[in-house]
Amino acid sequence: AKRAWRLLEQGRDFPLVGVHDIALLYFVQMRRRATSKDGRSKPDGKDSTDLTNVGKNHDAWHTRALCCATTAFFVCSVLTFLFWHREDLPEATRASEANKYEGNHVEITSIHGKMENCTVSFTKNSELSSWATKPLWLPTYPTSNPNLAKSVIGAITGLSIGAKSYYAQSKHLKRCRGADETATCEIVHPIVACNPPPEKKTDLFHSSIIVPIRNPATVFPAYYNHKANKYHGVKGQAEENSWREFRDSFLTSLFAEWRKFLLTWKSMKVYDIGLYLQYEEWSDLEKGPFMLEKMANVLRNANFTVANQADVQCIWYQHVINSDGIAKDQPAFTDYIPGYTKEHRTFLLDKLKAFAEEVVDDTDLASILHEYHDDIRDNLRIDKAWDNLTMPE
């Protein structure tokens, strides 16, 4: 009964399980009545708990009810097993996410207590007019890397500008090479044709690259919303039916270009991927600091002076947690959670599985793709298709 009530509180709308619980409860209650020795008298005046000796009237009704409850229990058990699919229950996912948030809130409070007074002792030598280091490519599919990454990389290396844009140009800056040293050079998707291409620029860029990556199920709506805000005057989150139209029209091509973007950089033989900078790990209380430590090691191996482990953890706390960096940088979906149809989910699962098998030699990327596959399988919100409705003239 408690379980059934919890399910109702969570908004879990699956009647078969509710009937299953009621049948189980009634089965137990009838069994208790049939076998109890409470001194109830039979019509002939003799005490008995043997169901085979029950004559008629009141106890006969309990016998029939017990049989009905038993039958209902087993029938509902079978039906529940056959027809209850978790993926049809987006509300269940939201309840689960709410529970995870509550636990995460406690951990964040603990983190604040441990690190709120931390200080960064790392200081970089004064800026030089020339330097021997080469920046690392930071190829980024749109909305895969938070803007705060630039300030974090700057803090880890002690540089005033940790990341520059490949496309920004001025009198003293061209293709990430300028008066001031920088650690990374951000180039977005699609790769703008240039002469010479990135493969021919090894004299200017380090052989290791850092590749931000984000779950396609969230990067596509974030990308769409970013474009709507920047180019179409949309304020806040785009209307849900507008997202549905974009999703239904372009999901296949979006996944193809997302996959191609990763494979393009992975296949460049003159570069090696030193780190996949996973978007979901930035604000993760365990994985976040560890990811930045790995990034610091990649930068250290590229001959940049970087902060020590304790300072890196403090930098993560100050830029990501204490300042609520991710939330300010790229606000969460506040009006609705972008969903996909069941057909879209099957498409994404099949494509991610095939992609992971294709890059099995890259254990880091394959592991991330499997993680995205499982997250979509377990947590994706199921939505309806786009309503192509137009007003009559």
Query: For the segment 85-101, what is each residue's pLDDT rounded down to a tens digit?
Result: 444 444 444 444 444 43
Do 353 and 253 lie in one domain? The reply is yes
Residue 129: burial class (beta carbons within 10 Å; 0-12, 13-18, 19+) = exposed
Count of domains forming the chain: 2
Question: What is the CATH classification number for the domain harbouring 360?
Answer: 3.40.50
Does the pLDDT of residue 192 top 60, yes or no? Answer: yes
Residue 55 or 186, more confident? 186
Q: Give the span between the Cα atoms of 212 and 128, in whole angstroms.
A: 29
Do 274 and 165 lie in one domain? The reply is yes
Do 355 and 219 lie in one domain? The reply is yes
Residue 361 or 13, more confident? 361
Rg (CA), the chain: 30
* pLDDT per residue as tens digits for the range 124-179: 755 555 678 899 999 999 999 998 899 999 999 999 888 998 888 777 677 888 77
Do 152 and 50 lie in one domain? The reply is no
Residue 387 lies in a domain: no
Do 52 and 137 lie in one domain? The reply is no
Residue 282: burial class (beta carbons within 10 Å; 0-12, 13-18, 19+) = buried
Mean pLDDT of the chain: 79
Contacts of 373 (CB under 8 A, 6+ apart): 349, 352, 353, 356
What percentage of residues in the chain have a pLDDT greater than 70?
64
* pLDDT per residue as tens digits for the range 283-341: 898 999 999 999 999 999 999 999 999 999 999 999 988 866 665 666 668 899 999 99
The candidate with the shortest Cα–Cα distance to 374, out of 262, 143, 217, is 217
Residue 97 lies in a domain: no
> Do the beta carbons of residue 118 and residue 132 sit within 8 Å?
no
Do 317 and 181 lie in one domain? The reply is yes
Range of the domain at 332: 113-118+133-379
Do 166 and 249 lie in one domain? The reply is yes
Torsions phi, psi for 107 (to 5 deg):
-65, -40
Confidence of residue 188 (pLDDT cuts 50, 70, 90): confident
pLDDT of 387 reads 86
Supply the pTM of this predicted model. 0.71
Do 68 and 181 lie in one domain? The reply is no
Do 289 and 193 lie in one domain? The reply is yes
Residue 238 lies in a domain: yes
Residue 107 lies in a domain: no
Do 158 and 49 lie in one domain? The reply is no
**Chain position carrying tokens 């002792």:** 121
